[in-house]
């Protein structure tokens, strides 16, 4: 069951006018919120990021956070899967095609849910292949925009190379993945680029940083050069659907050194374990408590 502009219906019945600016211009923003056993994960944080995206593209938020929370919970309740990925999208609405914003138009609100299939433990122990690709996206990668053509092309570059994710480099520095944030470990220190207009401020990225701090793991948030990326002891990606997923090869070369090269290392394994434990805590905790658990 999906939600479209105030109504619930089976997805097959959902229709939007061809002049929706989401269709014509990619003029809209979105969120993907994981829900485990009926508990939306970090819901308030996702709604804060939604507000930032909406403000950045100057679409007024159609709902209060409480109303959004209600709708996300209802989407989960109306769909059958134990774990779900709730997708919500707000576009500027329907108007005659003109780049300038239309006046007095209601945003289109669409919500759906999919079964959430997170990587199995075997894959987390094995790691995945990634390739490096020049980051040729626009300069507002902090906005979770539905205009994802560049991300689609970058992700397909990974798929074409038989890999799972592309690791993006802009002007010789690591930015993020095509649909994930990237962490590395070097000499026992976890390193990740800072939030800026070059990366999406990932909700999972925040959780990993909080967990590293709460557990006394050395952490540096700073720019990462291409040379450092290639010399990393460990690499992993984070996202709401992939969680914490080690990268075992980059451009066909094993990540890491010596006899451990190409196999996920201890910090990725520890972070995975902390993340899975945190998730279990969240599943037991009422929504309001979730926000403070890792802080
Ligand atoms: N960066 C990009 C470009 C993404 O598309 C995503 C998620 O889809 C992320 C990072 C990770 O964000 P989150 O942890 O909130 O899923």
Q: Does the Cβ of 200 fall within 6 Å of ligand 1?
A: yes
Shortest-distance atom of ligand 1 to CA 144: 5
Q: Does the Cβ of 180 fall within 6 Å of ligand 1?
A: yes
Residues in the chain where the model's pLDDT stays below 50: 289, 292-293, 295
Alpha-carbon 166 to chain mean position: 14
Measured in degrees and rounded to the nearest 5, phi and psi for residue 219 equal -140, 135
Determine the Cα–Cα distance for residues 246 and 127; give it in Å rounded to an integer. Answer: 5
Shortest-distance atom of ligand 1 to CA 199: 1
Query: Ligand 1 pocket test: which of 149, 167, 200, 209 has the largest number of ligand atoms within 8 Å of its C-beta?
Result: 200
Query: Strand 219-221 to strand 189-192: parallel, antiparallel, or no bridges (unpaired)?
Result: parallel
Determine the Cα–Cα distance for residues 96 and 207; give it in Å rounded to an integer. Answer: 42
User: Pick from 23, 197, 16, 25: which is nearest to 101 by CA?
Assistant: 25
- Supply 4's token pair: 């479209």
Please give the span between the terminal C-alpha atoms of the chain, in angstroms, as a whole number: 34
Active-site amino acid positions:
144
Residue that has been written with the tokens 């109306």 in this structure: 78
Determine the Cα–Cα distance for residues 91 and 61; give it in Å rounded to an integer. Answer: 10
Cα 237 to ligand 1 centre (Å): 10
Give the residues across from 246 on adjacent strands: 236
| Coil, helix or strand at residue 111 | strand
Q: Does the Cβ of 240 fall within 6 Å of ligand 1?
A: yes
Strand residue runs (E) in the chain: 2-4, 7-9, 28-36, 39-40, 84-91, 108-115, 128-134, 165-170, 173-177, 181-186, 189-192, 219-221, 234-239, 243-250, 253-254
The DSSP element (H or E) to which 281 belongs, if any, is helix 266-284
Query: Ligand 1 pocket test: which of 29, 146, 181, 183 has the largest number of ligand atoms within 8 Å of its C-beta?
Result: 181
Measured in degrees and rounded to the nearest 5, phi and psi for residue 3 equal -115, 130
Determine the Cα–Cα distance for residues 182 and 202; give it in Å rounded to an integer. Answer: 10
Shortest-distance atom of ligand 1 to CA 240: 16
Question: Residue 112 contacts by C-beta under 8 Å, 6 or more apart in sequence?
Answer: 2, 3, 11, 75, 86, 87
Residue nearest ligand 1's atom 4 by CA? 179
Residue nearest ligand 1's atom 5 by CA? 179
Q: Does the Cβ of 275 fall within 6 Å of ligand 1?
A: no
């Amino acid at each position: 069951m999906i939600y479209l502009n105030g109504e619930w219906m089976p997805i097959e019945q959902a229709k939007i006018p061809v002049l929706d600016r989401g269709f014509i211009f990619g003029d809209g923003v979105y969120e993907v919120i994981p829900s485990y056993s009926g508990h939306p994960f970090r819901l308030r944080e996702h709604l804060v990021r939604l507000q930032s995206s909406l403000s950045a593209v100057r679409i007024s938020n159609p709902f209060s956070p409480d109303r959004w929370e209600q709708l996300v919970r209802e989407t989960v309740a109306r769909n059958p899967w134990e774990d779900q990925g709730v997708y919500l999208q707000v576009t500027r609405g329907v108007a005659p095609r003109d780049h300038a914003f239309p006046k007095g138009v209601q945003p289109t609100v669409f919500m759906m849910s999919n079964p959430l299939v997170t990587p199995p433990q075997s894959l987390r122990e094995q790691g995945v292949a990634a390739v490096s690709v020049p980051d040729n996206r626009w300069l507002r990668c902090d906005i979770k925009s539905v205009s994802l053509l560049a991300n689609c092309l970058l992700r397909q570059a990974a798929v074409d190379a038989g890999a799972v994710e592309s690791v993006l480099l802009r002007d010789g520095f690591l930015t993020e993945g095509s649909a994930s944030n990237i962490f590395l470990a070097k000499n026992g220190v976890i390193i990740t680029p800072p939030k800026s207009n070059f990366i999406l401020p990932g909700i999972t990225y925040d959780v990993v940083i909080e967990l590293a701090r709460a557990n006394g793991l050395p952490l540096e948030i700073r720019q990462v050069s291409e040379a450092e990326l290639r010399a990393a002891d460990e690499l992993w990606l984070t996202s709401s659907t992939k969680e914490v997923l080690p990268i075992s090869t980059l451009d066909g070369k094993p990540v890491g050194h010596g006899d451990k090269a190409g196999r996920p290392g201890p910090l990725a394994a520890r972070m995975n374990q902390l993340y899975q434990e945190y998730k279990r805590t969240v599943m037991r905790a009422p929504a309001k408590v979730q926000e403070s658990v890792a802080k």
